[in-house]
Structure 1
Amino acid sequence: MAERPPGKGGPEEGTPEYDWLYGSRGTARPDDATRMVPQQDRAGERPDETRIMPAQPRATPRTPPAAPAPKPARTRRRPRFRFGFVKLALLLWLVFMVAVPFWAWSNIDKVDAEPSGARPDDQPGTNYLIVGSDKADDLTAEQQKALGTGPRGGTNTDTIIVLHTGSGADTRMSIPRDTLAEVPGHGTQMINAAFSLGKAPLLVASVEKLTGIHIDHYVELGFGSVINTVDALGGIEICPKTDMDDPRARLDIKKGCQEVDGETALAYSRSRYVSALSDLDRVGRQGEVIGALGAEAKSPWTFLNPVRYWRLTDASAKAIRIDEDMGPISLGRFALAMTGDSRTCTMPNMAAPSDPNRIVADPDRAPAVFKAIINDDAVPKSLCTPTGRARQ
């Protein structure tokens, strides 16, 4: 076995079986026998069969497509425009409710109703004198023909009512037109003659002289006020206690409660020839018609239906006259009082000793009713009767 050259610690250079360690270009250095020779680039060489093959990318398992995410709930926008429309509608409605009565007041005829001479002092509450005249110039030609009346200027008063409003319940006291009373400057007359003799001022003075009640405001109603107002409301209910056939009033109805139009309601309140008490019974029917009008007018439907509200206000404005001092607020209070609950009476009366066909204020019972109104007290029920006659 040949000796190794001195200083050589490894196999001879060029030995094939060690070429993988030292390579073919030299030998390991004596001072670094164990140092690893950096691996040379083997570009173009065939890779060793034992060389670790580069890891192949592992196939990623196929993930099933995710279900589409649910769409976010759509936020519902507040319909602000609707609330704005509602507010605007309410505002217009309120303006309409207030503006129509002011318009009506500006179109109502005004009359001078201030009497001359001494008058009762002011009293608590407010007293309205309501006069129903035969003024027919606010009727159409067809209505005048149906009622058998002409376009008279209103020279007679079929209805005289004192309406009192105050701290307690309202009171409507009717004064029969055949009541004998002192008419200032004309002696004793039927009280309705005061209207034909001196119009509103003389009638106010005669009522104040008879009752001692200070009259604050005057309201005159014509034929048309009943007809057109009832028709504007679509009719009212009346309840005659007997069959009524009165050709003079153009009335022919059966007894019992029934809906009637304006012409029938007016004929019902004018009729005076079908009952024993004549004018006294008529006063009671007039109160019934007024009460039915009030009950129908204060229905919520009147204020919710602008057409009905307009027709009612327009019809009333065209058929009444008021005193020059009555403002829109006073007129509004009058309308509320007429449509509200009130105690309805006829002035306590009795047959006139000098003329059985005429009546006078009952000296025993009438003063108590007058005093209650003057003092803003409730009228005693025992003295408040439909005809004004004492209860039996």
Structure 2
Amino acid sequence: MSDHLPPRSPRPGGPRRPAGHRARAGGSARPVPGASPGRPTGAAGPAPTRPLPVSEQRPVARGQNAGYGADDGYGGYGGGWGPGGPAGPPPDPGRRPRRRSRIPRPVRLGATLLVLVLVIVVGWGAGLVLWADSRIEHVDALSEAENTPGTTYLIAGSDRRGGDSVGDDGTEGARTDTIMLLHKAPGGNSYMVSLPRDTLVDIPGYGGYKLNAAYSFGGAPLLVETVEDFTGLAVDHYVEIGFDGVSGMVDAVGHVNLCIDQDVDDEKSGLSMTEGCHDVGGEQALAFVRARYFDPTADIGRQQRQQQFIESLMERVTSPSVLLNPVRHVKLAGAGSDSLVTSEGTGIIDVTRMALTARSAMGNGTMTMPVEDPEFQTENSGVAILTDDQDIADFFGSIEDGSADPASGDEG
């Protein structure tokens, strides 16, 4: 052994370093026991080192690159969890990376807004229909007659609501001054026929009377049955418009366009119009359907004006300015439901379909049924309108199957 002491550590008071030690001066390395110089060769040394067990490699999420230098989607580069890898915990193997949508963001926003608008519109319409249906008065008007092809509406204009006009001519009870038959044939053709209230018909259980007497005798059910027997068409929907509610309905849709062939200033009805066509509000429209004393034709002229009003009202209701205006929807649903009486099962949707069918029929013109004698003298009902049974059967038969031609001369 050498007589020289190992050099001291540069640190004051530090241990001496053995000769041949290569550790950096001041470092924390210490000599391994049994490995110092001068140990006999073959002496027992330290136990051989054992290799560390290889840990099972964590699976790499699908779509990720485990190699270095690739974007692993977790905020850095390097897919391995070693030098250069992310500092956070390893990703969940079952989690898929978020994929960007190929649909542009403005398109997605537009589609979302469109769906929202549709939901609001559908909800608004459904709520309005339920509310309006709950306000309509229904009557058990339909008979048990066998169905006929197509869809048939019986429209009656009545002064039953309010009662202000019931006694203006001495007639007691409710009356129907206006009776119209609207039919949509299976082929799609639509027809509107005016049934004069003075038409001589056979009323079941009563015999020969004017048509409007059926309503006075038995209300809507008897009127429906009488019309079915007379025309041969089964009525699917009965709709009665109360003329005392005319003002509210017209104001709800804004106005209706009415025409008159003379200047009128009638104090009893309040009608004040000059010759020609005018957009009028509710007050003048009500006076228009009630006025009769200024007209030498009396009830006949009033009936024609009431028919004109119903046609104009239906045309206005189905116009875009009303159909596309939610405020008018509410007003019309309220005023209309207060003025309508319909058969059981006939709701506001059926009334809307009726209006659309009427508008289509009015494009061809209101048809007039054939008359044999317009001034037939009866025993109990005064002067009435007499018809021929075969002519009536042929006329309404052509309407039923859709073969009637309004341009053939039977047009009103």
Query: Which range, TM-score by smaller chain?
Result: 0.5 to 0.7
**Which range moved further: 80-89 or 95-104?**
80-89
Q: Give the CA deviation at 1:176.
A: 1.4
- Identify the residue that residue 219 of structure 2 maps to in structure 1: 199
Task: Give the aligned residue type for 2:137.
Answer: D
- Identify the residue that residue 317 of structure 2 maps to in structure 1: 297
2:189 paired with 1:169: yes
CA distance in 2, matches of 1:216, 1:351: 29
- Identify the residue that residue 348 of structure 1 maps to in structure 2: 370
CA distance in 2, matches of 1:148, 1:80: 65
Give the 3 Å change call, closer, same or farther, for CA 212–158 of structure 1 in structure 2.
same
Instruction: Choose from 209, 213, 223 the match for 2:243.
Output: 223
- Identify the residue that residue 156 of structure 1 maps to in structure 2: 175
Q: Give the CA deviation at 1:185.
A: 1.0
| Mapping for residues 117-266 of structure 1, pairs under 5 Å | 119=145, 121-137=146-162, 155-166=174-185, 167-266=187-286
- Identify the residue that residue 398 of structure 2 maps to in structure 1: 372
Q: Give the CA deviation at 1:369.
A: 2.3
> Could you report, residue by residue, the CA deviation over 1:310-354 in whole angstroms, capped at 9, with x for unpaired residues?
111221111111111335653442232234443312333332432
Give the 3 Å change call, closer, same or farther, for CA 271–179 of structure 1 in structure 2.
farther
Structure 2, gaps ≥5 residues long: 1-103
Contact 1:348 1:383 in 2 (8 A): no
CA distance in 1, matches of 2:198, 2:116: 54
Task: Give the aligned residue type for 2:132.
Answer: A
CA distance in 1, matches of 2:389, 2:297: 20
CA distance in 2, matches of 1:114, 1:364: 26
Task: Give the aligned residue type for 1:132.
Answer: G
Q: Give the CA deviation at 1:379.
A: 4.2
Q: Give the CA deviation at 1:124.
A: 0.9
Q: Give the CA deviation at 1:259.
A: 1.5
Task: Report the 3-state secondary structure (helix = DSSP H, G, I; strand = E; otherwise coil) of the residue aligned with 1:122.
Answer: coil
CA distance in 2, matches of 1:77, 1:163: 52
Q: Give the CA deviation at 1:105.
A: 2.0
Contact 2:142 2:237 in 1 (8 A): no
2:318 paired with 1:288: no
Instruction: Choose from 85, 100, 103 the match for 2:131.
Output: 103
Task: Report the 3-state secondary structure (helix = DSSP H, G, I; strand = E; otherwise coil) of the residue aligned with 1:93.
Answer: helix
Q: Normalization by structure 2: what TM-score?
A: 0.64
- Identify the residue that residue 65 of structure 1 maps to in structure 2: none
Give the 3 Å change call, closer, same or farther, for CA 352–77 of structure 1 in structure 2.
closer
CA distance in 2, matches of 1:103, 1:226: 20
Task: Report the 3-state secondary structure (helix = DSSP H, G, I; strand = E; otherwise coil) of the residue aligned with 1:353.
Answer: strand
Give the 3 Å change call, closer, same or farther, for CA 365–298 of structure 1 in structure 2.
same
Give the 3 Å change call, closer, same or farther, for CA 339–132 of structure 1 in structure 2.
same
Give the 3 Å change call, closer, same or farther, for CA 131–201 of structure 1 in structure 2.
same
Task: Report the 3-state secondary structure (helix = DSSP H, G, I; strand = E; otherwise coil) of the residue aligned with 2:402.
Answer: coil
- Identify the residue that residue 114 of structure 1 maps to in structure 2: 142
CA distance in 2, matches of 1:148, 1:312: 28
> Could you report, residue by residue, the CA deviation over 1:81-130 in whole angstroms, capped at 9, with x for unpaired residues?
676445423431232234322331232111111347xx4x3211011111
Give the 3 Å change call, closer, same or farther, for CA 247–367 of structure 1 in structure 2.
farther
Contact 2:315 2:355 in 1 (8 A): no
Q: Normalization by structure 1: what TM-score?
A: 0.67
Task: Report the 3-state secondary structure (helix = DSSP H, G, I; strand = E; otherwise coil) of the residue aligned with 2:276.
Answer: coil
- Identify the residue that residue 6 of structure 1 maps to in structure 2: none
Give the 3 Å change call, closer, same or farther, for CA 234–94 of structure 1 in structure 2.
same
Task: Give the aligned residue type for 2:376.
Answer: P
Tell me which structure has the larger Cα radius of gyration: 1
**Which range moved further: 327-336 or 194-203?**
327-336
Contact 1:126 1:165 in 2 (8 A): yes
Contact 1:136 1:153 in 2 (8 A): no
2:354 paired with 1:334: yes
Structure 1, gaps ≥5 residues long: 1-75, 387-392
CA distance in 1, matches of 2:383, 2:314: 32
Give the 3 Å change call, closer, same or farther, for CA 224–99 of structure 1 in structure 2.
farther
CA distance in 2, matches of 1:384, 1:286: 20
